Structure 1
Amino acid sequence: MKIAKLLVLSAFASATLLANDNLVIDFEKKRVAQNPNVKVKNIKVFYKKELELKGWNGYILEIDATIQDKGMKVKDTLFSDGKVIATDLYDVSTGKSLKDSITPTLTDKYYQKSKLIAGNEKAKDKIVVFSDPLCPFCTQYIPEVIDFVNKKSDSIALYYYAFPLTHIHPASTTLSKLIDIAKVKNGNDIIMKAYTAHWSKYFEVTSTDDKIILEAFNKELGLDIKIEELNKKEIITSLEKEVLMGEDMLVSGTPTIYINGEKDTTREKYKTLGKK
């Protein structure tokens, strides 16, 4: 009887949770539908996490929609206790949004050997960074992280993913592709060199002229990459995949850093790694 009762309670709880999920999805559909330029194809729960706030869950929803005749997949965050739905919640003691608290945890697919730029891939402690080579903060931060890991290369693994913020500085897309090409040819030291170079001597961050950016890259780093290499399908596809992997983790700004799978909003926790 006890087992049967537990099964009934479990089924009831599952049904209740599913009903709450559907409530959130239906709410989002109605909310998005208020925009006449958006046609929703599908909305699903991408990630869900129970909050420390009793009874509340955070939802990351994936919206498959047509926006001004262009198919797009975007993500949105909502909160619900099954009775109330909120677009954001704030910690009154810190004033910070709780959205960061439901950031998905990295899976093993983010520890690709081809993305390892420093340290030991077998190390227990793993760092993953998403960065834009023309982001002013990144140009200071990424070299610092690389230096730190190089000093503790046996105990930490550092993985790098390009995430060019093309809406701010379009030139970062071309630069990211060039870094990828050069890294394969000349090794991981290229990333440090690219992040410490003064690109403003050669082009504006708003430049979309591949030829000018390529010439600057070759001159500054002493390379001879051809325009044909820059336009290869596999290079374009590789960058697109990196950006998508960032978007799946809700990366929206740079640098974004993960320590052992968890997003670090302080960007300082890497300094605690590698201690004996």
Structure 2
Amino acid sequence: MSLMLKLLATILILSSFLRADASSEEVEQFLKKMFAGNQNLKSLKLKVTNVTDVKGHDDWKAYYVEFDAILKKDGRQVVQKMVWFSNGEVIAKEIFDIEQAKDMNEMVSLPMKPEHYKKENLIYGNENAKYKIAIFSDPLCPFCRTFVPEALEYMKKEPNKFAIYYYHFPLESIHPAAVELVKAAIALELKGAKDVVLNLYKVNIDPREKSNEKILAEFNKVMNSNIQSFDLISKEVSQHLQSDLKIADSLMVNGTPTMFFNGVIDRTKMKYKEAK
């Protein structure tokens, strides 16, 4: 459980304050009031950033909330995004659909916006293709290493049907080597190389490796390239990676691989095979 969740706890609040048509501002004020007495927090900023419907539960809405807190104990800043649900009478952090045996969090997602489909993220296909596929992945994620190359090979054959957008999302806490690996991939792409992402999944390196020399040696061997350490610290490489991470954060992507099919998260990851 995250630090913010430990501080705020998962609670179910019955309230006459919220109405069925409660606005984002009313939800914000209600949550601020509830957390105002938390002795662990020196200060707290709270904002509802998005509101969406809950599929199959028309009387419920999902409120995407960003917490920005300063801890009283050591002055650390903790920023976290989370989803709260309300039907106007009850507000809760977690709710389960008994019939479907699902957490309601699995029934909601933020949609991709036009500005998320950046030219530099289009690795295959025509931007005007019928289907826009977005993939957020870590090249050292075990499942990604099998799934992503297969999906790319399948879709790249039909460039007028699929526009494939790829976003680097290295999971640094469990695969520290992935960070330098994706920087090398970005650097090579900036030099005009093709199929870099597809070949990225062929690089065999210990996910916990921290030696840039070893990481680059394996990368260059697979890519038949000559990327050097100084290439990884260029402004262009940093901007591209930060852009990818920012988009992932705005969509609350927290695992790999995460796929979007025409702007909507595809939890099955198989809609591309069903596309006509």
Q: Is TM (by shorter chain) over 0.5?
A: yes
Letter of the 1:168 counterpart:
I
The question of 1:65 aligning with 2:69 is answered yes
1:241 is matched with 243
Task: Rate the CA distance shift 1:263–1:219 in 2: closer, same or farther, 3 A.
Answer: same
Letter of the 1:182 counterpart:
L
Q: Which moved more, 1:168-177 or 1:224-233?
A: 224-233
Q: How well do the aligned residues superpose, as a CA RMSD in angstroms?
A: 2.2
Give the TM-score normalised by structure 2. Answer: 0.84
1:10 is matched with none
Q: Which moved more, 1:90-99 or 1:152-161?
A: 90-99
- Whether the 8 Å CA contact 1:47–1:59 is kept in 2: the answer is yes
- Whether the 8 Å CA contact 2:136–2:166 is kept in 1: the answer is yes
Which is helix-richer, 1 or 2?
Answer: 1
The 2-side partners of 1:103 and 1:161 are apart by 18
User: What displacement does 1:186 show?
Assistant: 4.1
The 2-side partners of 1:183 and 1:235 are apart by 10
The question of 1:89 aligning with 2:95 is answered yes
Letter of the 1:261 counterpart:
G
- Whether the 8 Å CA contact 1:40–1:63 is kept in 2: the answer is no
The 1-side partners of 2:147 and 2:53 are apart by 32
Give the TM-score normalised by structure 1. Answer: 0.84
The 2-side partners of 1:220 and 1:32 are apart by 52
Q: Which moved more, 1:233-242 or 1:164-173?
A: 233-242
User: What displacement does 1:217 show?
Assistant: 1.1
Q: How many residues matched?
A: 256
Task: Rate the CA distance shift 1:139–1:31 in 2: closer, same or farther, 3 A.
Answer: farther
1:6 is matched with none
Correspondences of 1:130-169 after superposition (within 5 Å): 130-169=136-175
- Whether the 8 Å CA contact 2:70–2:77 is kept in 1: the answer is yes
- The SS at the match of 1:55 is strand
Unaligned regions of 5+ residues in structure 1, if any?
1-14
1:182 is matched with 188
The question of 1:116 aligning with 2:122 is answered yes
The 2-side partners of 1:135 and 1:34 are apart by 41
Select 1:269's aligned residue among 254, 260, 271: 271
User: What displacement does 1:106 show?
Assistant: 0.4
- Whether the 8 Å CA contact 1:21–1:45 is kept in 2: the answer is yes
The 2-side partners of 1:116 and 1:248 are apart by 19
Letter of the 1:269 counterpart:
K
User: What displacement does 1:247 show?
Assistant: 1.1
After TM superposition, what 4+ stretches of structure 1 lie above 6 angstroms from structure 2? none
The 2-side partners of 1:248 and 1:100 are apart by 17
Task: Rate the CA distance shift 1:174–1:54 in 2: closer, same or farther, 3 A.
Answer: same
User: What displacement does 1:71 show?
Assistant: 3.6
User: What displacement does 1:161 show?
Assistant: 0.2
The question of 1:56 aligning with 2:60 is answered yes
Task: Give CA-to-partner distance per residue, 1:59-78, whole Å, 9 cap, x none.
Answer: 11012233553445320111
1:129 is matched with 135
- The SS at the match of 1:208 is coil
The 2-side partners of 1:248 and 1:257 are apart by 15
Q: Which moved more, 1:211-220 or 1:169-178?
A: 211-220
